[in-house]
Structure 1
Amino acid sequence: MALHDQDVYHEKDVFLENYKEMNKSLKIYIYPHKKTDPFANVLLPENSASPGGNYASESYFKIALSMSHFVTEDPSEADLFFLPFSIASMRHDKRIGIGGIQDFIKDYISTISKKYPFWNRTGGADHFYVACHSIGRTAMEKAPEVRINAIQVVCSSSYFLAGYTAHKDASIPQIWPRPGVTPSRHPSKRKMLAFYAGAMNSKVRESLVQTWINDTEISVHQKRLNTPYSESLLGSKFCLLAKGFEVNTARIGDAIYYGCVPVVLADYYDLPFADILNWSSFAVVVSTEDIAFLKTILKKRVDSGEYLKLHNNVLKVQKHFQWHKKPVDFDTFYMVLYELWLRRSSIRILNLFN
């Protein structure tokens, strides 16, 4: 299928119909905790209305969900149960720290399974948690029932990462909160073919920089820039997203926000919202073995006119890669909920509360 025939959605009509049903019927029960709980900072939404940093997606989701119409206080009507612990918050709590996260989650699951009947009736299959920090991939080592049964909505979503199961789990994008008007620049004014800058913390990045460090059309830098990335992102046709410690980084959100066509240099990666979005319509996925052919691959897109279609489609999907203080239809919050709706358990326990 030619690119101009592709929509940014796999099945737009199906998506919109299901989205409407999801918005009307999805119910989520959040395990309740009081403000006086000694670990309220880990379990309750942040007081800040504007969380920041690379892992803001965790906080924004929790804040948005807690204020949404999807929450029910009647667990008998819940489709899903939210485990509200924040791995990013645990890291900074001196009582827990990185070394105590696994024990905290083990104890938490043990506590709710004894206090409430919901976990045990499905083994946690209708439960989920959200985590964006990479340490989340090992956080469930002492709670294997969470890793195996629960829905893990995580940024670390490589097929080869221990504990991540495609189709059961879901990929969430690592998005910086960005207030204000979305910047734009016409494709004709994007003079650089491709751009990359970042730490040399993987063989993929090392190969990328070594191959293209002296090129005049592909701008690569072997460390983070001291100046804002915005001009480079706005001035480039393509933005290279090379795997570092993790595949998913804030660069995906950066590229899309600045209208730069993402070039994903990572193998076996479950792209965010891949159940819904047709990534080939607005991004270029290149095998890490083909780094040497990058210029040929990208120039072909430009010369054929395909780049203009890709760029136009990037603008169409921008709304899906944004957080808002108050969620807006089809933004990141709603897209995550839709992924959860697709994965909701069909198990119904009759007369459980009779």
Structure 2
Amino acid sequence: MEMGNRFRTRNPDNAHVHFLPFSVVKMVRFIYQPNSFNISSIERTIADYIGIISSKYPYWNRSRGADHFMLSCHDWGPQASKSHPYLYSNSIRVLCNANTSEGFHPLKDVSLPEINLKTDASLAGIIGGLSVSRRTTLAFFAGGMHGPIRPILLQHWKNKGDDRDMQVHEYLPKGADYYGMMRASRFCLCPSGYEVASPRVVEAIYMECVPVIISDGYELPFGDVLNWKSFSVAVAVAEIPELKAILSRISGRQYIRMWRRVRAVRRHFVVNSPPERFDVFHMILHSVWLRRLNFRVRHQLD
């Protein structure tokens, strides 16, 4: 937002929303006691910050925080938002871990796509995949065994040497290339770990691999404008044993339509610097704007 004036105003009276620029990641780095799993210092810092802006400026109090938004992709972002009751219940929370079973409210909060930024490589090197005819693997996954869902997936499908269609690994085979295997697969499995969000969803979209969402309670990003059913597959945890059968039932014609839609929506998940129209930056602000429309601020204070 600081790269230009299109989305920013220096006159707070003209602002539609107010950004709360605290970083949970940086607070974990600088004030959290390592390995304590006690985030009270983070909660106190956020509460103090809101206390300062609510006493110094009129904007928080007039809406009780409803026209303010925070953003966090850290696992503790949702918990940190509980440091102030209005931040949790009223403000727009932009969160990667958009778990409806843990208090995420789709009408008020924004689901932020989890993106693993490759600072040492060009974006062009991790975008693009093979044509449908060259995708010889039905489904691919490689990842650590953590959280409640991945052990179930690995138990049923890990290293099935007699089934070349299902390439499911806890550790990549020696010499295998992670992105290369995604590019050569029709479907990329995206099971939740300890939290509902996974960078594999965006990685799959980058590689033009139809994502298979295996999660409970995950509110997918940008669902206000994107029809996820048209370019992804949702599989319940209980259906993991039937995973191959579910994916095999998708006809070739239906798959091509989904693959083309993955390619079409990819631009909405790309990080550009400076931002470009329709990219992830614009999608996030659009999602914030839609939630802001649900609340009318009283400009005349009592």
| Structures share fold, TM-score greater than 0.5 | yes
Distance change >3 Å, CA 274–CA 220, structure 1 → 2: same
Q: Determine whether 1:169 maps to 2:109.
A: yes
Which amino acid is the alignment partner of residue 2 of structure 2?
A: S
CA contact (8 A) 2:149 2:192 kept: yes
Q: Does structure 1 residue 205 correspond to structure 2 residue 150? A: yes
TM-score by length of 1: 0.77
> Is the Cα–Cα contact under 8 Å of residues 90 and 96 in structure 1 kept in the other structure?
no
Query: C-alpha separation between the residues in 2 aligned to 1:328 and 1:212?
Result: 40
Q: Please identify, of 118-127 and 197-206, the stretch whose mean Cα deviation from structure 2 is larger.
A: 197-206
Could you tell me which residue of structure 1 aligns to residue 25 of structure 2? 88
Residue 332 of structure 1 is matched in structure 2 by 280
CA positional deviation for 1:351: 5.4
Q: Hey, what does 2:87 align to over in structure 1? A: 146
Q: 1:198 touches 1:225 (CA, 8 Å); kept in 2?
A: no
SS at match of 2:100: coil
What TM-score results when the alignment is normalised by the length of structure 2? Answer: 0.90
User: What amino acid does structure 2 have at the position aligned with 1:176?
Assistant: N
Measured in 2, the distance between the counterparts of 1:70 and 1:252 equals 28
Partner of 1:281: 230
Instruction: Assess if the C-alpha contact under 8 Å between 2:62 and 2:299 holds in 1.
Output: no
CA-CA distance at 1:344 after TM superposition: 1.1
Indicate the SS of the match to 2:138. Answer: strand
- Asked if structure 1 preserves the Cα contact closer than 8 Å seen for 2:67 and 2:92, the reply is yes
Is 2:68 the counterpart of 1:119? no
Aligned Cα RMSD in Å? 1.8
Q: Which residue of 2 aligns with 1:10?
A: none
What number of residue pairs does the alignment pair up? 286
Alignment of 1:1-354 (within 5 A): 65-68=1-4, 69-94=6-31, 99=39, 100-161=41-102, 163-177=103-117, 179-181=122-124, 182-213=127-158, 214=160, 215-223=163-171, 228-301=177-250, 303-345=251-293, 346-350=295-299
Mapped partners of 1:125, 1:238: distance in 2: 39
Distance 2:59 2:264 in 1: 40
Shift of 1:228: 4.2
Contact 2:196 2:217 in 1 (8 A): no
Classify 1:292/1:96 alpha carbon distance in 2 versus 1 (closer, same or farther; 3 Å): closer
Counterpart of 1:187, as a letter, is V
Task: Name the CA distance, whole Å, in 2 between partners of 1:246 and 1:66.
Answer: 31
Give the Cα separation in 2 of the matches to 1:193 and 1:145. Answer: 47
Output the amino acid matched with 2:109.
D
The one-letter code of the counterpart of 2:25 is A
Cα gap change, 1:248/1:89 in structure 2, threshold over 3 Å: closer, same or farther? same
Q: Would the aligned equivalents of 1:200 and 1:223 in 2 still touch at CA under 8 Å?
A: no
2:112–2:221 contact (8 Å) kept in structure 1? yes
Letter in 2 for 1:139: A
Taking the aligned partners of 2:123 and 2:188, their CA distance within structure 1 comes to 22
- Identity score, percent: 38
Q: Deviations over 1:52-82 (max 9, x none)?
A: xxxxxxxxxxxxx222311111111111010
How far the C-alpha of 1:242 sits from its partner, in A, is 0.5
Where structure 1 has 5 or more consecutive residues not aligned to the other structure, the ranges are 1-64
Contact conserved, 1:96 with 1:104, CA < 8 A, in 2?
A: no
Secondary structure of the 1:239 match is strand
| 1:200–1:206 Cα contact (<8 Å) kept | yes
